[in-house]
Structure 1
Amino acid sequence: MSLVTTYVLLCTLVSVVAISSPCPLGFVEHNKSCYWFSKTLANYAEARSYCQYFGSHLAKVTSKDEDDFVRGHAARHGKAANYWLGATDLNVEGTWLWEGQQAMDYSNWSRGQPDNSHSGTEHCLDIKQKYESYLWNDERCNMEANFICEKEL
């Protein structure tokens, strides 16, 4: 196969993939959302800003199906030690809300979590690889971690 033919086939393949996905480049589609798994470390506030810059928000995991997707993709492709998700209990200790003050109707906390173990300073939600493949954990908001952005279709 000539170099020109290979180039044309590669360009065609890239074009078809770009056209067939409604998600922005680098985002992964699942159900009615697009997700971006960062390779960048940031504290919780910085992670929120990154997501907002991309026209998205920190991921809100509201069902078992969505949780299975996020955890599975993180385990297979991301492999970071932990990822921020978009919930906190900053307003009322022990009352976890998604960004926009949305109630948390689904959760998948690791055993013993949330535990607020750092002298009452763990107010942000992350998923940790060491906790049974990315189960939920409360963490200090100023800690640096990778993060997952979500953009609804």
Structure 2
Amino acid sequence: MKYLLILVALSGATSVYGNWEKCIDGDLFVIDSLSRSWEASKTLCSQNGGHLAVLATEDLTTQFKQFLNDENLDAHISKGMWIGFNDIQQEGTFTWIDGTAWDYTDWFRTQPDNNNKRDSCHGQDCGQIWKWPRSNPTWQWDDDYCFKSKPHVCQYESHQTCNTP
């Protein structure tokens, strides 16, 4: 049986389970520090009533990146975190997993690059947010190999935790 453990931490404090939570615009964003593939992360979010985070607007992305910086998450998460976009169906055509329009991007300057050195059949098809480069780093989007294990961000829309006065 699956359980969703959400600790109320509106300030974004770290929970004892290695998760960080933040309410943004009524949605609850939960960062799970346990590493999984993109598909396993997507499945886990879905089983718990959410989906991988859809950072489809500049305002939402800015607020989320501010949360990451405020919590100094790069000290805890060094290889990026899965979020909810991919180009699995058609190379170079990225889509959000919830069908939200692809109107805004926040790619790192050399991305997406579909590097296929480690997977010549598929290349890099799944979306992550990572802090790069090592000198003067910023949180931005990147495409990466879907099979890689890394933390992920689940989004729970209109979550009651976020709508309590």
By the TM > 0.5 criterion, same fold? yes
- Relative to its length, the structure with more helix (as a share) is 1
Matched, 1:33 2:27: yes
Count matched residues: 132
Q: Is the 8 A contact 2:33 2:151 kept in 1?
A: yes
Letter paired with 1:75: N
CA distance in 1, matches of 2:70, 2:38: 23
Cα distance in 2 for residues equivalent to 1:37 and 1:45: 16
Larger radius of gyration: 1
Match for 2:129 among 120, 127, 130? 127
Question: Whole-Å Cα distance in 2 between the matches of residues 71 and 41 of structure 1?
Answer: 20
AA aligned to 2:54 is K
**Deviation per CA, 1:58-99, whole angstroms, max 9, x where unpaired?**
000111111112222223323312111100001111010000
Q: Which runs of 5+ in 1 are unaligned?
A: 1-16
Residues of 2 paired with 1:54 and 1:93: CA distance? 29
- In the alignment, what sits opposite 1:13? none
2:141 to 136, 140, 148: 136
The match for 1:110 is 108
Q: Which amino acid aligns with 2:109?
A: R
Can you give the 5+ residue segments of structure 2 that lack an aligned partner in the other structure? 1-6, 159-165
State the AA in 1 paired with 2:53. Answer: A
Q: Is the Cα–Cα contact under 8 Å of residues 111 and 143 in structure 2 kept in the other structure? A: yes
Superposed structure 1 runs of 4+ greater than 6 Å apart = none
Give me the TM-score of the superposition, normalised by structure 1.
Answer: 0.78
**Structure 1 residue 122: Cα displacement:** 0.3
Report the identity percentage.
23
Structure 2 counterpart of 1:59, from 41, 46, 53:
53
Shift of 1:41: 0.6
Aligned to 1:70: 64
- Cα distance in 2 for partners of 1:121, 1:101 equals 23
Q: CA RMSD in A?
A: 2.1
Please, which moves more after superposition, 72-81 or 43-52?
Answer: 72-81
Q: Does the Cα contact within 8 Å between 1:125 and 1:136 map onto a contact in 2?
A: yes
State the AA in 1 paired with 2:23: E
CA contact (8 A) 1:37 1:74 kept: no
Give distance in 2, aligned partners of 1:116 and 1:109.
13
